[in-house]
Amino acid sequence: MGQQIVNGLFLGSIYALFALGYTLVFGVLDILNLAHQAVFMLCAYAALLLVGHLHLHMFLSFPLAVLAGGLLGLLVDRVAFRPLRGRSDSNISGLISSIALATILEAVALQLFGPDVERFPFGTVPTRTLRLGSAVVSELQIVIIAVAVGMMAALTLLVQRTRLGRRIRAVAESPRAARVLGVNVDGVIAASFFISSALGAAAGVLFGLAFNAISPDVGRAVELKGLAVIILGGMGSMPGAAVAGFALGLLEVFTVAQIGSSYRDAIAFGVLFLVLVVRPRGLLGQAATREA
């Protein structure tokens, strides 16, 4: 029981981190960035290259890969979203162009790294374990959960307490009003993409370290889970995404252990459906009055 909770929190922390990036861009732009999973995947590879080929320590590789993710986010914004901004149908066309970009990035990864599963070299991460009651927790799991929670807290502080955060919230409220008040809207959007993709990158690296199997299609499974998490949490709600991420991780683990792996996604998405029927705005979502 205790062990399954640890397993669920561990998986959930990665889902939450991934979904936070999704939800930040959604909250600001009202669009889904479906290239998020490609950033997740490419940055897992980036960390693999830094550790495996340049022999950098993980403590150095992790921030570098996260930085690379942020830069990749700027590229995603510049290529897939900015040219379409201002069009009346930019929500749908942006969604489609981000799918296109994800496909291209996946193909690039396939060319560069091949279809086979790649692994971090042995000894990249500590393998020591601790006992917590009946549960066994590895140092890696503790670090992953701590990094995820730390990044969530940092993001909340950034959005609530800083000048940039205030601008992001202003643009989310109304891009036009923000522009009138002298906010550099394109700059704020680019910054949101940078932060969002950096979080996706962090999730990718942590996922790679946790399960040690990286392939060009590794982002696809997480992509759907991420979508489920932001809907469950309430579209655009950051605390909601964090809570829903952990909830989904725990739900999956207990479904697998108690009912069977075949029912994992059925139950996860079944619960998602039920939540939407009972509470359409999601767990912590705001009622949709902002648009008015």
Partner 1 sequence: MRLARWQSLAIAAAMLGGATTARAAETVKIGAAFSLTGNAAVYGAQQKAGVLLAVEHLNKSGQLKGITLEAVVEDDATSKEQGIAVFQRFINRDKVSAIIGPTLSTTATAADPIAQQSRTPVVAVSNTAPKGITDIGEYIWRVSLTEAQVIPSALQIVRAKLGFKNAALLYGNDDVFTKAGFDVMKAALEKEGIPIVEIQTFATKDRDFNAQLTALKGKNPQFLMVSALAEQAAGIVTQARQLGWNVAIMGGNGFNSPAFIKNAGQAAEGVYVGTAWNKPSTDPVNQAFLAAAKAKGVDPDQFCAQAYTGVLVVAEAIKQAGMKGGRDDIKAGFAKVSGLPTPLGKFSFLPSRDGNHAAAIQWVKGGKFEVVQ
User: Would you tell me which residues interact with partner 1 (CB under 8 A)?
Assistant: 3-4, 7-8, 10-11, 114-117, 119, 122, 127, 129, 131, 136, 138, 207, 210-213, 218, 221, 252-254, 256-258, 260-262
CB-wise, 14 or 159, nearer to partner 1?
A: 14
Least distance to partner 1, CB of residue 276, Å: 25
Quickly list H helices, the chain.
2-29, 36-52, 58-76, 90-113, 139-161, 163-173, 175-180, 185-211, 218-233, 238-258, 264-278
CB-wise, 127 or 162, nearer to partner 1?
A: 127
CB-wise, 112 or 153, nearer to partner 1?
A: 112
Rounded distance between C-alpha atoms, residue 15 and residue 71, angstroms = 22
Least distance to partner 1, CB of residue 251, Å: 11
Q: Each residue of 257-274: b (16+ CB within 10 Å) or e?
A: eeeeeeebeebbbebbee
Least distance to partner 1, CB of residue 264, Å: 8
Least distance to partner 1, CB of residue 167, Å: 38
Rounded distance between C-alpha atoms, residue 125 and residue 168, angstroms = 36
**What SS3 state is found at 281?**
coil
> Which structure tokens are listed for 200?
């996706």
CB-wise, 237 or 255, nearer to partner 1?
A: 255
Q: Quick check: 144 and 13 in contact, CB under 8 A? A: yes
Q: Quick check: 61 and 125 in contact, CB under 8 A? A: no
Q: Are strands 135-138 and 129-132 parallel, antiparallel or unpaired?
A: antiparallel
CB-wise, 4 or 286, nearer to partner 1?
A: 4
Please, which residues have CB within 8 angstroms of residue 168's CB and are 6 or more apart in sequence?
A: 24, 28, 159, 188, 191, 192
CB-wise, 183 or 256, nearer to partner 1?
A: 256
Least distance to partner 1, CB of residue 259, Å: 10
Q: Report the interhelical angle of 238-258 vs 2-29 (nearest 10°).
A: 140
Least distance to partner 1, CB of residue 291, Å: 38
Least distance to partner 1, CB of residue 203, Å: 13
CB-wise, 211 or 273, nearer to partner 1?
A: 211
Least distance to partner 1, CB of residue 69, Å: 20
CB-wise, 156 or 212, nearer to partner 1?
A: 212
Rounded distance between C-alpha atoms, residue 241 and residue 16, angstroms = 6
Rounded distance between C-alpha atoms, residue 188 and residue 85, angstroms = 14
